[in-house]
Amino acid sequence: MEPLRSRFQKDADKGAEAYAASIPFDQRLYEEDIKGSIAHARALAKAGIISEKDAEFIIMGLSSIREEIERGQFQFKPKLEDIHMNIEARLFEKIGYVAGKLHTAHSRNDQIALDLRLFAKEANSETIARLKELQRALLDSAEGNLDVIIPGYTHLQHAQPVLLAHHLLAYFQMLERDVARFRGCLERTDVLPLGSGALAGVSYPIDRSFLAEELGFSRISQNSIDAVSDRDFIVEYQAAAAMTMMHLSRFAEEIILWSSSEFGFVEVDDAYATGSSIMPQKKNPDVAELARGKTGRVYGNLMGILTTLKALPLSYNRDLQEDKEGFFDTVDTLLSTLDVCAGMVRTLRVHGERTREAAAEGYILATDIADYLVKKGIPFRQAHTIVAELVRYAMDQGKTFGQLSLDEYQRFSPLFDQDVRSITLESSLAARNLPGGTAPEQVEQALRMARRLLDV
Amino acid sequence: MEPLRSRFQKDADKGAEAYAASIPFDQRLYEEDIKGSIAHARALAKAGIISEKDAEFIIMGLSSIREEIERGQFQFKPKLEDIHMNIEARLFEKIGYVAGKLHTAHSRNDQIALDLRLFAKEANSETIARLKELQRALLDSAEGNLDVIIPGYTHLQHAQPVLLAHHLLAYFQMLERDVARFRGCLERTDVLPLGSGALAGVSYPIDRSFLAEELGFSRISQNSIDAVSDRDFIVEYQAAAAMTMMHLSRFAEEIILWSSSEFGFVEVDDAYATGSSIMPQKKNPDVAELARGKTGRVYGNLMGILTTLKALPLSYNRDLQEDKEGFFDTVDTLLSTLDVCAGMVRTLRVHGERTREAAAEGYILATDIADYLVKKGIPFRQAHTIVAELVRYAMDQGKTFGQLSLDEYQRFSPLFDQDVRSITLESSLAARNLPGGTAPEQVEQALRMARRLLDV
Amino acid sequence: MEPLRSRFQKDADKGAEAYAASIPFDQRLYEEDIKGSIAHARALAKAGIISEKDAEFIIMGLSSIREEIERGQFQFKPKLEDIHMNIEARLFEKIGYVAGKLHTAHSRNDQIALDLRLFAKEANSETIARLKELQRALLDSAEGNLDVIIPGYTHLQHAQPVLLAHHLLAYFQMLERDVARFRGCLERTDVLPLGSGALAGVSYPIDRSFLAEELGFSRISQNSIDAVSDRDFIVEYQAAAAMTMMHLSRFAEEIILWSSSEFGFVEVDDAYATGSSIMPQKKNPDVAELARGKTGRVYGNLMGILTTLKALPLSYNRDLQEDKEGFFDTVDTLLSTLDVCAGMVRTLRVHGERTREAAAEGYILATDIADYLVKKGIPFRQAHTIVAELVRYAMDQGKTFGQLSLDEYQRFSPLFDQDVRSITLESSLAARNLPGGTAPEQVEQALRMARRLLDV
Amino acid sequence: MEPLRSRFQKDADKGAEAYAASIPFDQRLYEEDIKGSIAHARALAKAGIISEKDAEFIIMGLSSIREEIERGQFQFKPKLEDIHMNIEARLFEKIGYVAGKLHTAHSRNDQIALDLRLFAKEANSETIARLKELQRALLDSAEGNLDVIIPGYTHLQHAQPVLLAHHLLAYFQMLERDVARFRGCLERTDVLPLGSGALAGVSYPIDRSFLAEELGFSRISQNSIDAVSDRDFIVEYQAAAAMTMMHLSRFAEEIILWSSSEFGFVEVDDAYATGSSIMPQKKNPDVAELARGKTGRVYGNLMGILTTLKALPLSYNRDLQEDKEGFFDTVDTLLSTLDVCAGMVRTLRVHGERTREAAAEGYILATDIADYLVKKGIPFRQAHTIVAELVRYAMDQGKTFGQLSLDEYQRFSPLFDQDVRSITLESSLAARNLPGGTAPEQVEQALRMARRLLDV
């Protein structure tokens, strides 16, 4: 019979025990748990609830358990349910009777809330750091390919020419918003729950502010019931992660498209590609495909925790044990995806002649020709109609804009003149010279601003 | 043949036209669209791209279209696809030729981004206001029931007594985090996209900062491709809404439980209840059930937009049209749910004698008895074991703690003394006297702090 | 005070009334509701519970209400909550006192279950019909393009040549599984719930089998509590729809890719495309983009209903009202998407020379060359390695397989001979001559089998 | 440099290698993989593609690898990516050169499809078996508590009395539909994909029907592209599992409610409960809470795979690697949840006196009183109104139906007579005597039918 089953007359059913045990996954929180217990022991001593000597004894025991775990010598037991009871039981073995004093004013309910918040704070910080790494890789690539023109797309159809750097900066912006979201999440995570007890608070005069300081929290929780029931900080991380993965899936999709033989815009480095077991010629952009595919699990984990929390009455319910695995999986997935994407970007080869050639195909300068007419005095909507008819004529003739004679142009509007010939990819880019536009001047300015943001 | 189909040789298939038309739902954005077009006309005039007179003419036309819509006299046509083209076409009818000048430096891609951001800013502000209304209702109820004791639950089992006010304040805290999330979302929404054109920026010297000021935006977007591809502000609202609905579903679940004949803790006011078509005695807490049930649609809308955006290459793709209906539905659902929940809280009758009676049943003071032993010198874990055995004994005897003799107590520990009798619901509450605890003193302090937060 | 509120002392709060009213969307079920009530009136008369004359009177009243609704003359009132009470109230106005007899042995709980099942049966049947329509369009297209060779892809990289018809038949297979799933769903939907009352069954001797026959159901429900609590048939439809939309999103993605200037494999008909408001040259595959984008809402609706049902105690709870809107939306979305996809397929232009040219590029025949070596006696894995090195050499030389001399071939294996030159796209296709393979013979056989399946 | 990287000039990046490796989880498929390879070797020999001796050699090698794995002596290497290449590489070590022949006419793409289908078939069968186990436990419990009356609920309010057995049979029905869905899924899973090669079929005359027979499949796939791209069988399992978990979450919710001190209807056995680390009196229905909570992960896994598959072009893409972990997790979760629920049901103690007492409280017989009036000639709706007023009166007086005098009854309708007193819980039950109703006679009949279904 286990320590917490004293009022029961039976052992747990073996299947039920395995079903309920969280130790297979919450052992990952051993460091947070021990850190929290050490701080708690100090707080108990500070309040005179236990003696300084007992506190030292407990801290010594906990430290040596941490070492055991780190050396792989600790035996986790499902029978002991979770990381807290595993460590507590071992502490009894190590220091005996005194171990029983640690759990004064300490419940597994506020303990797990603490462990998770410590873990989540670290996860948020690390995520922000890796987002910035990827942003840096994008900036480096943008700067290294400043003269590369690509067709800009809407509906995956050629729309208007843009600089590759401008396109990459769009992702920089997305990640910048991601950083802001994780910062908000971090701020809301940075709240000490210890001292909330099982749900109602504790009846010992421990100093919660001291605990917050010891454990590096900026604030203490304001309501004990909320403190043990709340998993918002996990949901919020998962929601922010889902948005980041959404961004990365868009980027991955483009890398995959651009790597196809039809596009041929880029080539993923061998180090980020794999071959085929049957087709000797294959080089697959696997990392991008996996990043795109893993979006699913991150969305799923978000859905999972939202479902688990739906309609759950206060305060702690065992359902909350389901908060961990999906969260860990999302953190691991996001961090590794950010990592490999940064590596993939840094080693990506861009085929600038090919992208320029693609941009030059077709009627990508149609908007510029319409703008040309507008500048000669025609309202935009009419100019749009004239150029649409011009495009239709050119397609029927199998000609590009460049292959049309001035005569042919003038069939559609007398305002066309020789200078229509000076509309080029370059002139098109240069014309979009407002903040946020793709004109080289603007893009250079945007790169400088982005660089500065990275240093914040 | 419609204006934008000039290069085509065929009309749209009727089914395809209906499938693609967004006018049935995006007409809701008419006001934002017209507001944006008026500002755009001013910016065009300011930049000398059109004359002041043309601008005035256009603005007059747009204003009178707004009136037509508001009077219900505007005929929306699916053939014209969306709100932008419906308004543009009507403007042509009204002011002729000049209407064609409005779309200089203006694409549907940046136009819809603008409309949605204007709408979303308003949605965020209104959501924050209603969250505060519900917080206010919770505070009022907490203050009006300051002496009500309820059983605090973990695992839906009696755990420790708490004040109802303390329990309600847990929801106050949740909503406070919700407010912070919507504020962050609002900040990231508050960015002007106009001037991004179709995707690459525009080739006319319009003043984007002027536009931002005209339309009440704090910042302008930094990348034109991102500006037309980005729907983060919608996803983020939906994620924040999902969390709020999760909170409300937890509250609704408790109202439903507490309204059951078995609990009998509260009674929902007749104005928030319904009857049965077949069982004459029924009074159902429908509003709470619906709030709980509607959590599903809000989660679903979040999942929907995340799915739509997954792996979507830049920049605008028609898939983005799917951003609206789920978003509108979430905004409407959240706002109305917050509203009816506030009303339900304000009119809720609490049966304080019944909750006290429930709290007094069983062995809810067991932790306090363990704490009692700890204060007499026994380590907590051992005290826990002793009391667990005491509970088992009492259950076997069919006795409450109060019905046990001192003799019986002392069979489990010699440290028990007469003063064990002074452990009551009230002493239990009073003992939890740390910040965030349920002691009346702490709860009163928490109420004062909450009241102050509401005024921010 | 409304009929069902007789035990209450207050009217509903206006906001709560609007919040709770389902009439804005459940009026769509008027026909099912009236059909069910007519059958119920007959069953009551048959059992002698009401007189034949009363039954006739009721049926006459209900029929005329149906006509009113169909002529748009019925005024739906939110105050009356739902379609059942709206019709019941109107029946009172029309036939007076006798109307009150209709609700003997009839609860809104079994009534709405009936209405939904009638609707869902129809939805399943119609879905199956439209799936078959799309299958037919795919078959017609496959047969009409029997000689078109395309590059087959894995990882969006050229893998092996395949017939376009073979590729289209892959979608035929997916839809065939969809048909099977909707058939299973239909079977489980085809169960009469009437006679379950509010939850416990009814205390009148109505003949449930008679009702089943009248209303076209194959079976009657076996448990009254389940009958009013169960929404599996809606969840199952939504899950099947999610899978179908997933299939259609894959197809849509390919149409979009293939329509890009870089692929240039197909051209969507003007009738299924739209233009741009700013770029005169644009022709966008909007229908495919919308089909892909609408996958989100169908996934979201599935997640919504699953969330609503999670942890809902038996039997009827008002949360169940949330079963309808998402379901209707999914049915409408799926049916219209199937429709427009069929139209798009029927009118799609395939550029067979372009796809052949694309297939001929690169090293798509590498597997065939490895197979060539295997047939000369080398184990496959070694042959694979040899050809991989050959590919690397050819890439370095900038040569295609066809441009390599026999000498160059033989540097990699002495087994290469003149006949390596006879490896062509056609020989590659012809070689895959097992059931399910892309050899023309197999594909023709598969087309015949598919045609037969359509007739089932 | 690994075998499949011969055309590359670089090793994989370490991070990318770890990111892409599936061996940490797909090693679970070793048995299926080896089984498939053995059958494939036989088929190659049968077709004369390899010699009988080579086949025997290969089979011997594979068998001994299986043993190594089962004895825990196999070293899985992430560098070798997946289970297929790990086994292939080991086979080379064991039997050398000949190992290279196994992969003739065999791609990882059809291999993994095979492995997953073998696994999924087993998962479906096992799921059906455990569903039946739980059904059996429910039937046993229903039969063992045949005389237990509980309040039937709608809106968690007392509605009408029902037999507990009737209530439990509602869950039997849900699980019966689950069984049907898994059977449909099994049927669609039972299709051999081998012989589809990488995507186009294979160019060797292997006998696919022979392979199907060897591996226990009923049918062979009809299209090679579909065969390697299709994961419907996984999505369908996950969707069916989500529905089953939804059912179990409803059941779990009821167990949790019924275990509360306020309901007191049942007591979970000690073997399925846990205690508290801080509150000595606690006995928590953890297994039910976990079952409810785990609904989240199963919903999430469904959402995950649907997201991953959205808009994925044909045929195999690396995204598909994401099909496994969520699937395994869902299978494990569902099987263990069914198991522990069956155990919990089998050991559940029901407090029949308490449930009867609860049923007797309040006005649960109101419908019966309305029916009483109907039988005396009043239309139901009027009877409903009369009884609603009677209830309101009784509540005001603080009386139960039994405490009202005949006089008081008659104030509301002259049709009330002495026999209104014979309306009891038992008469109410007995009256609902239609198929599917809660009358004891019907429930006994339903139990017999259910028992027969279990034997199918």
B311 touches chain A (CB under 8 A): yes
Q: How far apart are CA D173 and CA C348, in angstroms?
A: 47
B253, B184, B192: which is closest to B217 by C-alpha? B192
- Angle at Cα B428 formed by Cα B426 and Cα B430, nearest 5°? 70
Q: How far apart are CA A383 and CA A372, in angstroms?
A: 9
Which amino acid appears at position B289 of this protein? E
D119 and D209 both lie in a single domain: yes
- Cβ–Cβ under 8 Å, residues B222 and A435: yes
| Catalytic residue (choose from B155, B203, B277, B405) | B155
D404 and D329 both lie in a single domain: no
C182, C186, C200: which is closest to C135 by C-alpha? C182
Any chains having at least 3 CB pairs less than 8 A from chain D are A, B, C
* Residue C371 lies inside a defined structural domain of this protein: yes
- Angle at Cα A174 formed by Cα A169 and Cα A177, nearest 5°? 125
| Catalytic residue (choose from D125, D218, D260, D276) | D276
Mean pLDDT in residue range A312-320: 96
B334 and B450 both lie in a single domain: no
The secondary structure of chain B in percent helix, strand, coil, rounded to multiples of 5, reads: 70, 5, 25
Contacts of C118 (CB under 8 A, 6+ apart): C32, C35, C36, C215
Best mutation target among B154, B157, B235 (most D Cβ atoms within 10 Å) is B157
A201 and A321 both lie in a single domain: yes
Q: Please, which pLDDT band fits residue B3 given cuts at 50, 70 and 90? A: low
Best mutation target among B111, B250, B263, B274 (most C Cβ atoms within 10 Å) is B274
Judge whether residue C279 has pLDDT over 90.
no
Q: What's residue C375's pLDDT?
A: 92
Residue pLDDT, tens place only, C422-437: 999 999 999 999 999 9
- Identify the CATH number of the domain in which residue B327 sits: 1.20.200.10
First to last CA, chain D: 55
Q: How far is CA C217 from the centre of its chain?
A: 23
- Cβ–Cβ under 8 Å, residues B23 and B86: yes
How do B191-192 and C266-267 pair as beta strands? unpaired
- Distance (Å) from the C-alpha of residue B68 to the closest C-alpha of chain C? 24
What's the mean pLDDT when you consider all of chain D? 95
- Angle at Cα B316 formed by Cα D302 and Cα C276, nearest 5°? 135
A98 and A116 both lie in a single domain: no
Q: Please, which pLDDT band fits residue D231 given cuts at 50, 70 and 90? A: very high
Question: Which residue is closest to D347 within chain A, CA to CA?
Answer: A13
Mean pLDDT in residue range A409-426: 95
- Distance (Å) from the C-alpha of residue D378 to the closest C-alpha of chain B? 14
Q: How far apart are CA D102 and CA D91, in angstroms?
A: 10
Residue pLDDT, tens place only, D54-73: 999 999 999 999 999 999 99
Q: SS in 3 state form for C155-204?
A: CCEEEEEEEHHHHHHHHHHHHHHHHHHHHHHHHHHCEECCCCCCCCCCCC
Q: Is the dihedral of CA C268, C269, C271, C276 positive or negative?
A: positive
Q: How far is CA C183 from the centre of its chain?
A: 12
Question: Which residue is closest to D326 within chain A, CA to CA?
Answer: A297
Is the peptide bond prior to C315 cis by the omega test (within 30 degrees of 0)?
yes
Chain A stretch 34-73, residues whose beta carbon is closer than 8 A to a beta carbon of chain B: none
- Distance (Å) from the C-alpha of residue D276 to the closest C-alpha of chain C? 24
Take residue B120 and report the two structure tokens written for it: 């979303």
Give the three-class secondary structure for B121.
Answer: helix
Q: How far apart are CA B202 and CA B224, in angstroms?
A: 9
D262 and D405 both lie in a single domain: no
For the ranges A338-352, B262-276, C305-319, which has the lowest average pLDDT? B262-276
Longest dimension (CA), chain D: 101
Contacts of D306 in chain C (CB under 8 A): 242-243, 246, 299
* Residue A6 lies inside a defined structural domain of this protein: no
Q: Please, which pLDDT band fits residue C166 given cuts at 50, 70 and 90? A: very high
* Residue D26 lies inside a defined structural domain of this protein: yes
- Cβ–Cβ under 8 Å, residues D262 and D156: no
Q: Does A284 contact C157 at a Cβ distance shorter than 8 Å?
A: yes
Best mutation target among A44, A85, A380 (most B Cβ atoms within 10 Å) is A380
Q: How far apart are CA C158 and CA A435, in angstroms?
A: 41
Q: What's residue B1's pLDDT?
A: 37
Could you confirm whether C218 is annotated as catalytic?
Answer: no
* Residue D131 lies inside a defined structural domain of this protein: yes
Q: What's residue D132's pLDDT?
A: 98
B365 and B286 both lie in a single domain: no
Position of tokens 């027979």?
A: D213
For C168: left if phi > 0, alpha if psi spans -120 to 50, otherwise beta; the answer is alpha
What's the length of chain B?
A: 456
Residue pLDDT, tens place only, A42-91: 999 999 999 999 999 999 999 999 999 999 999 999 989 899 999 999 99
Judge whether residue D356 has pLDDT over 70.
yes
C392 and C410 both lie in a single domain: yes
Judge whether residue B287 has pLDDT over 70.
yes
Q: Please, which pLDDT band fits residue A234 given cuts at 50, 70 and 90? A: very high
Is the peptide bond prior to D315 cis by the omega test (within 30 degrees of 0)?
yes
Q: How far apart are CA D18 and CA D34, in angstroms?
A: 24
Q: At what angle do helices A30-46 and A208-215 cross, to 10 degrees?
A: 140
How do C191-192 and C219-220 pair as beta strands? parallel
Structural domain ending residue among the three candidates A357, A375, A398: A357
Rounded to 5 degrees, what are φ and ψ at D336? -70, -35
- Identify the CATH number of the domain in which residue C89 sits: 1.10.275.10
C372 and C325 both lie in a single domain: no
Take residue B419 and report the two structure tokens written for it: 């003063």
Q: Does B278 contact C326 at a Cβ distance shorter than 8 Å?
A: no
Best mutation target among A281, A305, A432 (most C Cβ atoms within 10 Å) is A281
- Cβ–Cβ under 8 Å, residues C331 and C305: no
Could you confirm whether D276 is annotated as catalytic?
Answer: yes
- Angle at Cα C194 formed by Cα C189 and Cα C199, nearest 5°? 100
Q: SS in 3 state form for C277-318?
A: CCCCCCCECHHHHHHHHHHHHHHHHHHHHHHHHCCCCCCCCH
Residue pLDDT, tens place only, C379-424: 988 999 999 999 999 999 999 999 999 999 999 999 999 999 999 9
Take residue C293 and report the two structure tokens written for it: 């984008």
Q: Does A277 contact D108 at a Cβ distance shorter than 8 Å?
A: yes
Q: How far apart are CA D231 and CA D191, in angstroms?
A: 12
Judge whether residue B6 has pLDDT over 70.
no
C413 and C279 both lie in a single domain: no
- Give Cα separations from C354 to A391, A395, C238, D116 (angstroms): 22, 17, 39, 37
Q: How far apart are CA C288 and CA B16, in angstroms?
A: 10
B227 touches chain A (CB under 8 A): yes
A321 and A434 both lie in a single domain: no
Question: Which residue is closest to A285 within chain D, CA to CA?
Answer: D318
- The DSSP call for residue A388 is H
For the ranges A217-221, B447-451, C382-386, D261-265, which has the lowest average pLDDT? C382-386
C39, C57, C153, C52: which is closest to C106 by C-alpha? C39
Q: What's residue A177's pLDDT?
A: 98
C304 touches chain B (CB under 8 A): yes
- Distance (Å) from the C-alpha of residue A310 to the closest C-alpha of chain B? 5
Q: How far is CA D261 from the centre of its chain?
A: 30
Q: What is the ipTM metric for this complex?
A: 0.96
Q: What's residue D1's pLDDT?
A: 38
Structural domain ending residue among the three candidates B318, B334, B357: B357
Residue C71, domain extent:
18-104
Residue pLDDT, tens place only, B220-256: 999 999 999 999 999 999 999 999 999 999 999 999 9
C349, C169, C167: which is closest to C272 by C-alpha? C349
Number of structural domains (chain B) is: 3
Q: How far apart are CA A414 and CA A406, in angstroms?
A: 10
- Identify the CATH number of the domain in which residue A404 sits: 1.10.40.30
A390 and A302 both lie in a single domain: no
The alpha-helical segments, DSSP class H, found in B71-154 are 83-95, 108-144
**What's the count of helices (H) and strands (E) in chain C, helices before strands?**
18, 6
- Give Cα separations from B186 to B136, B248, C306 (angstroms): 22, 21, 30
Structural domain ending residue among the three candidates C300, C330, C357: C357
Q: At what angle do helices C52-70 and C30-46 cross, to 10 degrees?
A: 170
Q: What's residue C168's pLDDT?
A: 98
Residue pLDDT, tens place only, A379-399: 988 999 999 999 999 999 999
Contacts of D404 in chain B (CB under 8 A): none
For A82: left if phi > 0, alpha if psi spans -120 to 50, otherwise beta; the answer is beta
* Residue B238 lies inside a defined structural domain of this protein: yes
- Cβ–Cβ under 8 Å, residues A290 and D317: no
Take residue A283 and report the two structure tokens written for it: 């080089």
Give the three-class secondary structure for C349.
Answer: strand
Q: Please, which pLDDT band fits residue C6 given cuts at 50, 70 and 90? A: low
Q: Does B310 contact D306 at a Cβ distance shorter than 8 Å?
A: no
C13, C197, D406: which is closest to B279 by C-alpha? C197
The alpha-helical segments, DSSP class H, found in B316-351 are 324-347
Question: Which residue is closest to D357 within chain B, CA to CA?
Answer: B262
Residue pLDDT, tens place only, A358-377: 999 889 999 999 999 999 99
For D104: left if phi > 0, alpha if psi spans -120 to 50, otherwise beta; the answer is beta
* Residue D12 lies inside a defined structural domain of this protein: no
| Catalytic residue (choose from D155, D261, D405, D422) | D155
B440 touches chain A (CB under 8 A): no
How do C157-163 and D266-267 pair as beta strands? unpaired
* Residue A437 lies inside a defined structural domain of this protein: yes
Q: How far apart are CA A213 and CA A210, in angstroms?
A: 5
D105, D47, D234, D124: which is closest to C436 by C-alpha? D105
* Residue D303 lies inside a defined structural domain of this protein: yes
